[in-house]
Amino acid sequence: MEIFEIGIKILLALTAIFFLVFFYLCALWSKPAHPERRFRIGAMVSVMYSFVFFLAGFILVSLISLILKYLPSFIKLFSL
């Protein structure tokens, strides 16, 4: 479980960095077309993509932790 906890902490930090960078880029991208709503557009798009980023990372961290936890059992099972 230690690998899972470290992975989740790293994933949370990376998700926060992803959100901030993506928010800044979306706000700059929407400024010429919608100058009065650029922060709302940037926030909505960034929240959606940050959720997808976190969900994919969570699935990846979960799979890696499960593989590392049960890998010795699988090796012993298939070694005959």
- 8-31 mean pLDDT: 95
State how far Cα 55 lies from the chain centre.
Answer: 6
Q: Is the pLDDT of residue 76 over 90?
A: no
Least confident of 13-17, 23-27, 67-71: 67-71
Residues 77, 60: Cα–Cα separation, whole Å? 24
pLDDT at 75: 85
Q: Do residues 41 and 28 make contact, with C-beta atoms less than 8 angstroms apart? A: no
Tell me the whole-structure pTM to 2 decimals: 0.83
- The domain segmentation of the chain, as residue ranges, is 2-78
Please choose, from the candidates 47, 55, 59, 66, the residue with its C-alpha nearest in 3D space to the C-alpha of residue 3. Answer: 66
